[in-house]
Structure 1
Amino acid sequence: MTVDTREFGSAAMSFEILRAALGDGAAARLGRLAFAGRRPIDTPNFIGITSRGAIPHITPDNVARHLNVGGAYMALEDFIERPQQYSTRTPPIYEIPPTAKHQTRLHSFTAMPPSVTTVLGARRLPAVASPMGNTKSSVSVFTSTGFQALTTAEYLAAAQSLQPDIAVPPADLTHSPITPNSKRALRMAERTDEWLEEWFSELQDSPTPVTTFAPVLPIPYPIQWEYLSRLAEDYLPTAQLAGLALYDPDLLPDLASFVPALLPLPRLSLSPPSTPHHILNQIALGIDLLTIPFINTVSDAGLALAFTFPPPTTPPNNPLPLALDLTAPRFATSLAPLTPHCPCGACTTHHAAYIHHLLAAREMLGWTLLQAHNHGVMAAFFAGVRATLAQQDGAAAFARARGEFARAYEAGFPLGMGERPCF
């Protein structure tokens, strides 16, 4: 049952809010994001994090065959390195032609399945802090050959050439755990505002449309209120703005209070959660799409995710682990699947002892199976969240299940002892 249906979109993208669990405002909601030629994404959901255009340890054919991933985040800095001896070379990604199967350069170069929605940003998630800093007209990116400046004009040209389904314009970020002072935060807002104005100005006369999710900075609302008001007053009515990319989901209550016109837009979180508890926090604030780098991190450490949502109906005596360290000796003779009742290919075809052996032998297949399992667990987790929100009392049911999840599972992941394979 849906209590409301609201739709926002353009010819290339549509976003439908199927149910807002707590009505309007900063609250969990059900939706569906769809792009022409791509598999629709039911939200809340997550998108995969890539490295140089590929989900680590998974080949593109296995992404289509074994991963229930609707989208993939890609960083332009992964593709634009300029070796010193070839400083004038054009990066190969700009030269590869689209094909009948892969109709954009980004899909063609990465061989990403055509059903997968692509999201392009300038920096990786999480990004490496640059010692150079950004300038008035460029951001500092970290390529495989070192740091280099990427101008806003170059980034827009790249987005138009590569044609991702979603492009996140550059934002003036520090990528540092240290909170910027008020002077630096104000400069972040002013620069980002100027860059976005330049972005949309160039797109007005461009024959190549770019679906734009505007960045929302990780600074207090009062410092960036003018920038956010411009999004609602100048770019939303002209249909230039398609969504929001939030670097701090905690700003959503402020957006709901002061710029409610932005609420119907789809919301992409670029603030990586560290545990599933933090994922639930972001969903409760109203995030639609999440980027979750810890999936790749725990797989590299030899950990198999072991949580479900809603949590087990029988409360455990002690909090359950969020993941299992398959390098532990107790798995050497275990013929059980990684987690009970898991439908992923790793659990239905293999057992824990086999993957333990692969990790001990440093066989790359071990990490491939772990990635398939961990992405499967995360897909089932989000499916459980959506099913809970779809109940008659979705808001109350989600709040109860979220509290039970916090009591049922440990606060953090165990320290995995696995070592990723050497290439």
Structure 2
Amino acid sequence: MLDFTLCKSAGSLAPRLGRLSLAGRKTINTPDFLGNTSRGAVPHISQDNYRSRTTLGGVYVALEDFVEKHPQKIPPILQFPGASPLRRFIALPNDALLVLGARRSPPTQTPMSNTNSSLAIQTSVGFKQITSEYYGSATRKLEPDIVVALADIPFGQTPVGSKRKDKMSDRTENWVRDIIAKRDSLDKSEQKWAIFAPFLPIDRDLQSWYLEHLVDEMKDKIQGIAVCDAFLMDDLPEDLAHLPRLSFHAPKSPQEILRQVSLGMDLFTIPFVNEATDAGIALDFEFPPLSSSPTDAPPETQTSGRKSLGIDMWTSSHSTSLTPLSTGCPCYACTNHYRAYIQHLLNAKEMLGWVLIQLHNHSVLSSFFASIRASIERGTFESDIAAFEAFYEPKLPEKTGQGPRVRGYQYGAEEHGKGGRKNEKGFRRGLGAAEGEEEKVKVYAAHGQQPNKNPGVQDVIDDEAITGLVDVEGVEKVEDLKFEDDERKA
């Protein structure tokens, strides 16, 4: 079973060191972070690179990534045979901790509302509701190491009235009981998962009944707490302080991570690392800062007298730079490639560019957490935070370049009802010989696709389509074929 040991703690609302262990899985020294996945994979990092190029101890996976909207259609993930189907389906290493939740981190606002027995989620093709029983059955089938119990949180709906908050508490308590009952019903031969109970983002008075029941009736049946609002940690009962805390209060910057660690947070899901990578921003910070002054940093990384938290790789100054993303960084990108090459990849829309930045960003974050643990061990954490906040900008740089294709769940619910393209076309119109005159860019496909001679007709002809439709005897290559449209134009 999951074991969490507090190695150093000065109280329930103070930075602490811990060790999270489970038989057959990597031991995770806390504070630390989990890989935040999309469709079961850390964005831009393939499974082989996950094994060889990262130090992640585990990942967080959302069930809504795999659920279908069609009510009579069983998702492929739930039809996958054998033991540990979710782990094998996403090719996760056997020693990585697998945490399952219902919704992504951060979740997308849904136009559907939760009910007393169901939670609204976003599937790959629309929104639907899943019942607590469905969630329990899916967990039983998928066999994660840790499951986060359902929480009734109306994301994006503000303000939330007091009656609605009462419902949040009552529904969440019932759903925690449901997942506990489902685990208790497992046979001895089935894998039992650890349960993290939600700590809701409402005042303690409004969830006091739920918290009392957690302490009095379910304390021995849960193995952790899923915290939705880190700044309400002082409302967490002392009887639950020994449990590991997983934060779903998504930090926007390293400074916010430090504030949550100072309140006693143990594990994190950190969406901004993926957002920075998509924006072409290479993280560049260390804790505590080694330089005595921000002016010691390169000029391009300084803004308003403080050093930037990241490097915008779309900036033209990197086009001829023969330096790594970060000097001294041990990641694969920094030890094998220069900034000029990575910027070239971004400009060419080569996905390898984002892969290298993502590997670098995860390495920076791993080093950041290792330094946090060392700082807590030394007893200098508070002074190190002050030095970090004085040295670095309070937020990450703004996105300036075009990122990779945006996935549907990266838009709010209101965006899904709008028409038009969510991503720009891969090929655009360019300026012709005369200023302001546009000419259409001719794009030829790899298999003999013909240029569109008639704007009203789309010619999509490849080698296999040509064979059997025309007499190809004596023709050595596709380019030698003559088409009727070509002859008319000539």
What TM-score, normalized to structure 2? 0.79
Alignment of 1:207-222 (within 5 A): 207=187, 208=190, 209-222=192-205
Which secondary structure state, in structure 2, belongs to the residue aligned with residue 89 of structure 1? coil
Alpha-carbon distance between aligned partners in 2 of 1:400 and 1:25, rounded to the nearest angstrom = 20
Instruction: Find the partner of 2:101 among 121, 126, 136.
Output: 121
1:273 and 1:188 mapped to 2: Cα distance? Answer: 23
| CA distance, structure 1, for counterparts of residue 179 and residue 2 of structure 2 | 19
Structure 1: gaps of 5 or more residues: 1-11
Q: Equivalent of 1:24, from 1, 6, 11?
A: 11
8 Å Cα contact 2:150/2:175 also seen in 1: yes
Q: Which residues of 2 match residues 347-358 of structure 1 at below 5 A?
A: 347-358=334-345
- Structure 2 Cα separation of the partners of residues 140 and 252 of structure 1: 26
Is 2:165 the counterpart of 1:185?
yes
Q: Which residue of 1 aligns with 2:448?
A: none
Q: Find the aligned partners of 1:422 and 1:147 in 2 and give their Cα distance.
A: 21
Contact kept in structure 2, 1:344 and 1:376, CA below 8 Å: yes
Counterpart in the other structure of 1:316: 294
Distance 2:352 2:401 in 1: 14
Structure 2: distance between partners of 1:97 and 1:42: 33
Q: Paired residue for 1:51, among 16, 19, 38? A: 38
Code of the aligned partner of 2:5: E
Shift of residue 89, structure 1, vs aligned partner: 2.5
The Cα shift of 1:229 comes to 1.5
Q: Counterpart amino acid of 1:91?
A: P
Following the alignment from structure 1 to structure 2, what is the Cα–Cα distance between the partners of residues 418 and 179? 35
Offset of residue 97 of structure 1? 2.6
Contact 2:68 2:74 in 1 (8 A): no
User: 1:6 is matched with which residue?
Assistant: none
Is 1:111 aligned to residue 98 of structure 2? no
* Contact 1:141–1:150 (8 Å) recurs in 2: yes
Counterpart Cα distance in 1 of 2:183 and 2:48:
34
**Would the aligned equivalents of 1:97 and 1:108 in 2 still touch at CA under 8 Å?**
no
- 1:204 and 2:188 aligned: no
**Is the contact between residue 61 and residue 113 of structure 1 (CA under 8 Å) also seen in structure 2?**
no
Q: Offset of 1:415 from its aligned partner? A: 1.1
Tell me the amino acid that sits aligned with residue 418 of structure 1.
Answer: G
Over residues 156-212 of structure 1, what are the superposed CA-to-partner deviations in whole Å (9 max), with x where a residue is unaligned? 111111111110011101111624121111110111112212222333222242210
Could you tell me whether the CA contact under 8 Å between 1:270 and 1:291 is conserved in 2? yes
Unaligned runs of 5+ in 2: 296-304, 407-490
Determine whether 1:240 maps to 2:221: yes
User: What's the CA shift string for 1:5-40, capped at 9, x where partnerless?
Assistant: xxxxxxx211111111xx222111001101121111
Partner of 2:447: none
SS in 2 for 1:24: coil
CA distance in 2, matches of 1:274, 1:387: 23
Q: Residues 120-169 of structure 1: CA distance to partner in whole angstroms, max 9, x if unpaired? A: 11111111111111011000110011001100000011111111111001
**What SS does the corresponding residue of 1:413 show, helix, strand or coil?**
coil
User: What whole-Å deviation, never above 9, does each CA across 1:224-266 have from its counterpart, x for those lacking one?
Assistant: 0111121111111xx31100000011122122xxx21100000
Matched, 1:307 2:307: no
Deviation at 1:316, TM superposition (A): 1.7
1:252 maps to amino acid: M
Query: For residues 325 and 269 of structure 1, do their structure 2 counterparts lie closer, same or farther at Cα, with a shift above 3 Å needed?
Result: same
Equivalents in 2 of 1:200, 1:360: separation in Å?
51
CA contact (8 A) 2:136 2:178 kept: no
- Where do residues 318-357 of structure 1 align in structure 2 (5 Å cutoff)? 318-357=305-344
After TM superposition, the score normalised by the length of structure 1 is 0.91
SS at match of 1:274: coil
Secondary structure of 1:223 counterpart: helix
Aligned length: 394
CA distance in 1 between counterparts of 2:389 and 2:46 reads 35
Matched with 1:226 is 209
SS at match of 2:179: helix
Query: How far apart are 1:418 and its partner, in Å?
Result: 2.8
Q: Which amino acid aligns with 1:138?
A: S
Select the residue among 232, 240, 254 that pairs with 1:251. Answer: 232
Bigger mean CA offset, 410-419 vs 173-182: 173-182
Task: Give the aligned residue type for 1:136.
Answer: N
Give deviations 1:351-376, integer Å, cap 9, x for gaps: 11110100010000000001000000
Q: Identify the residue that residue 42 of structure 1 maps to in structure 2.
A: 29
Asked whether the equivalents of residues 125 and 293 of structure 1 are also in contact (C-alpha less than 8 Å), the reply is: yes
1:416 lines up with 2:399 in the alignment: yes
- Counterparts of 2:72 and 2:166, CA distance in 1: 36
1:133 corresponding residue in structure 2: 113
Match of 1:80 in 2: 67
The verdict on how the C-alpha distance between 1:422 and 1:131 changes in structure 2, with shifts beyond 3 A counting, is: closer
Aligned counterparts of 2:13 and 2:30: Cα–Cα separation in 1: 15
Following superposition of structure 1 onto structure 2, how do residues 378-393 of structure 1 map, counting pairs within 5 Å?
378-391=365-378
Q: State the distance in 2 between where 1:16 and 1:324 align.
A: 37
For 1:399-410, what aligned pairs fall within 5 Å after superposition?
399-410=382-393
Distance 1:316 1:145 in 2: 47
- SS of residue matched to 1:251: helix
State the shift of 1:420 in Å: 2.6
C-alpha distance in 2 between matches for 1:69 and 1:177: 34
Of 254, 263, 275, the match for 2:241: 263
**Aligned AA (1:385):** I
Residue aligned with 1:147, SS: strand
Which of 352, 356, 361 aligns to 1:365? It is 352
CA distance in 2, matches of 1:34, 1:277: 27
Q: Matched residue of 1:358: which SS?
A: helix
Residue deviations 1:372-395 (CA, integer Å, cap 9, x gap): 00000000000000011111xx1x
Q: Percent identity?
A: 42
CA RMSD of aligned residues (A): 1.3
In terms of mean alpha carbon deviation, does 269-278 or 316-325 score higher? 316-325
Greater Rg by CA: 2
Which ranges of 4 or more aligned residues in structure 1 deviate by more than 4 Å? none
Answer whether contact 1:28 1:287 (CA < 8 A) is retained. yes
Q: In 1, distance between residues paired with 2:185 and 2:95?
A: 29
Provide the rounded CA distance (Å) in 2 between the counterparts of 1:298 and 1:212.
Answer: 31
Matched letter for residue 255 of structure 2? H
Higher relative contact order, structure no. (Cα contacts within 8 Å, ≥ 6 residues apart):
1
2:201 and 2:228 in contact (8 A); partners too:
yes
AA partner of residue 385 (structure 2)? R
Matched letter for residue 404 of structure 1: A
